[in-house]
Every structure is written in structure tokens, then in C-alpha cells.
């Protein structure tokens, strides 16, 4: 067994580092480079339901024949999906690390059928990148969350490979949500996706996209929830995502209880070769602390194992303003 090996979604990974879904995982060249530099697994760029629908609606329908429109629609849909399926097959042929495709759905019914094609193409697991922005103030949190559960139930009926759900962090009760995933047979949860955010340009007085890349400080929020979620008495794996910019950052998530750690922004900045550096940093720390395997320290500082779990519950800075301190 290699020193950095971990188990995620029931699959052995030789490193906890996973290259997360992005353009960095959209070509066979990049995927090979990720493997050569020590990635434990790769999550392919998401296949977006919205993107496919957009292509389809952009097709000129000058003939006005409904049959022709239907044909074109199907052709576009199948072509886009075919390209994706080819990438999976190619990746499975040329890589030895696990290949995890990702689909992004914006409806619960959507296109769960494609999940079957993805599984048939040889995928080791499926990640669902899913976030339904609650924009309807009349809809309760329970109603909003039901869309996730409906989607998962449909997918579970369709495929047998392990499913990981990549979620955003704006839920009223994240631990309950994860529990609900678990009872529906989800094997893993990716905490958390980092979404497109709007910003404001004061000069132009206009809305602009905020930076698409994370900073290390964004880890803190995630760390709390991984520390809490990994301490629950349920068998669901956790893949940490957001803010990992070094091997040390990855170690923090492992200590909080993550089973694997996904990396994106820092690889855009430093290239996929940086995975090697991160693996080395983790090994050096393990040597220094006398750990021979990740399982010896994974979760050591989570909500259950840490002696003072109250540190995970504290939210206010009251203590610092109190005269008793």
C-alpha cells in the first residue's frame, strides 16, 4: 500500500488529491498529465444539461417541420453526449487512475438517462454537480431540497456505479441534507462547489463576474462542515473542495475527516505539475509526524475525535469581547 493511498467511494486511490471538474479535466492530454503528476483520480468537466439545451434552442428551425426540428434536436443532444462518452472511454483506456464523470442538472427529471450511457462507457463513479438556486420566496427550504432527493432517487434507479453529490454550501441544515443523501444510497458528498458569483464594478457601475478562482482563506467555512459531517455515524465519504492551494491545505481537510481532497484553482495557477509538489508536501509532513498512512490521522481532529468539539460549534466572537477573558 502506498503511503498516501486512501479509499473514496469504495475505490482505492494512490493519493487523496483529485483534480476537480473544470477545463483541466476536459481533454485526454490534461487527464494524462494529471495522472503522470500523481493525481489520485480525476473528475471530468461537467456535462451541462443547460449547455445542451442552449445549443438545441440555438439551432435555426427555418424549415418549420416539427419532424426536422426533432431530428436536429436529437442529433445535437446525441453529438454532445457522444463526445463526452468518447472522452470517458479514451480516459478509461489510457489511464489507470479512477475516472469520475460529472453531470450538471438543472431539473430533477432532466436527463438521468444519460447517466446510464456514462456508466456503460466505463466510468468508475458519477459526480452530480447540482445546485438549484432558490429564487422563489414562496417555496420552502423543504420543497427546494426535495428536487435533490427526486434527482438522486431517479439516478439510483438508473445506475449501479457509486454516486457522489457535489453541493453548494447554502443549505439551512447541511448535516440533515447529507443524512438524506445517505439514506437514498449516495456514496459520497463533495463539500463544496464554488459557484459563479456576481460582483460590482464601481467605475463602470455594472455587474461583473467575481474572480473564478478561490483563495486559501475560503477553506475555513468548509473545514467546519467537514469536521462535523465526517463525525456523523453514517457511511458516506467526503471529498473536500474549495481553497486547497498546498499539500498543507489538503492535510487540514484530511485531519478534519475528508476521504479525498479536490484541487482546481491552484492547478490553473501553477499547472498540473504542482500535484507532485503537493503530494511531496503531504509526505514530508507525515514523515515529520511519524505517520505511515493517511488512515492513521484522517479524522483525528473531527467533531467526534477532537477533545473539545465545542470549537466546531462556536460561531460568535463573544469570548473575545467578554471581560472575563
Ligand X SMILES: Cc1cc2nc3c(=O)[nH]c(=O)nc-3n(C[C@H](O)[C@H](O)[C@H](O)COP(=O)(O)O)c2cc1C
The CB-of-294 to ligand X minimum distance in angstroms stands at 19
Residue placing its CB nearer to ligand X in the complex, 268 or 306:
268
Q: What is the 3-state secondary structure (H, E, C) of 172-239?
A: CCHHHHHHHHHHCCCCEEEECCCCCCEEEECCCCEEEECCCCCCHHHHHHHHHHHHHHCCCCCCCEEE
* Residue 133 beta carbon to ligand X: minimum distance, rounded to whole angstroms: 15
CB nearer ligand X, residue 46 or residue 108: 46
Q: How far is it, in rounded angstroms, from Cα 318 to Cα 227?
A: 22
Q: Would you list the DSSP string of 280-296?
A: HHHHHHHHHHT-SSGGG
- 108 half-sphere exposure, CB direction, 13 A CA radius: 14
* Residue 129 vs 259, nearer CB to ligand X: 129
Quote the least distance from Cβ 324 to ligand X, whole Å.
Answer: 38
Beta carbon nearer to ligand X, 75 or 213 = 213
> CA of 126: how far to CAs of 82, 97, 159, in Å?
17, 15, 9
Residue 110 CA to residue 49 CA, distance in Å, equals 7
Question: Where on the chain is the footprint of ligand X (CB under 6 A)?
Answer: 20-23, 45-46, 102, 129, 166, 193-194, 212-214, 241-244, 263-265
Nearer residue to ligand X within complex by CB, 95 or 264: 264
Q: Minimum distance from CB of 238 to ligand X (Å)?
A: 14
Nearest distance from C-beta of residue 45 to ligand X, angstroms: 5
Amino acid at each position: 500500500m502506498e503511503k498516501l493511498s486512501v479509499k473514496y467511494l469504495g475505490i482505492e486511490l494512490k493519493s487523496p488529491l483529485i483534480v476537480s471538474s473544470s477545463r483541466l479535466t476536459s481533454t485526454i492530454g490534461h487527464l494524462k498529465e494529471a495522472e503522470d503528476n500523481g493525481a489520485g483520480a480525476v473528475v471530468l468537466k461537467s456535462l451541462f444539461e443547460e449547455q445542451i439545451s442552449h445549443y438545441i434552442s440555438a439551432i435555426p428551425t427555418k424549415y418549420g417541420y416539427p419532424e426536422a426540428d426533432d431530428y436536429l434536436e436529437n442529433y445535437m443532444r446525441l453529438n454532445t453526449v457522444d463526445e463526452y462518452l468518447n472522452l470517458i472511454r479514451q480516459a478509461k483506456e489510457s489511464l489507470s487512475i479512477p475516472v469520475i464523470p460529472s453531470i450538471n442538472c438543472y431539473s430533477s427529471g432532466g436527463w438521468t438517462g444519460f447517466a446510464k450511457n456514462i456508466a456503460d462507457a466505463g466510468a468508475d463513479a458519477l459526480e452530480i454537480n447540482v445546485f438549484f438556486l432558490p429564487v422563489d420566496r414562496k417555496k420552502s427550504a423543504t420543497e427546494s431540497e426535495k428536487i435533490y432527493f427526486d434527482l438522486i432517487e431517479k439516478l439510483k434507479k438508473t445506475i449501479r456505479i457509486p454516486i457522489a453529490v457535489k453541493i453548494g454550501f447554502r443549505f439551512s441544515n447541511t448535516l440533515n441534507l447529507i443524512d438524506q443523501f445517505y439514506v437514498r444510497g449516495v456514496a459520497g458528498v463533495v463539500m463544496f462547489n464554488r459557484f459563479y458569483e456576481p460582483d460590482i464594478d464601481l467605475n463602470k457601475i455594472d455587474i461583473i463576474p467575481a474572480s473564478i478562482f478561490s483563495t486559501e482563506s475560503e477553506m475555513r467555512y468548509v473545514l467546519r462542515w467537514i469536521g462535523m459531517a465526517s463525525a456523523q455515524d453514517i457511511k458516506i465519504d467526503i471529498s473536500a473542495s474549495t481553497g486547497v492551494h498546498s499539500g498543507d491545505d489538503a492535510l487540514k481537510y484530511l485531519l478534519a475527516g475528508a476521504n479525498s481532497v479536490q484541487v482546481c484553482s491552484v492547478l490553473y495557477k501553477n499547472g498540473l505539475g504542482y500535484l507532485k509538489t503537493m503530494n511531496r508536501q503531504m509526505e514530508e509532513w507525515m514523515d515529520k509526524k511519524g505517520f505511515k498512512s493517511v488512515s492513521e490521522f484522517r479524522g483525528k481532529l473531527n467533531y467526534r475525535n477532537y477533545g473539545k468539539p465545542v470549537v466546531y460549534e462556536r460561531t460568535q466572537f463573544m469570548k473575545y469581547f467578554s471581560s472575563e477573558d
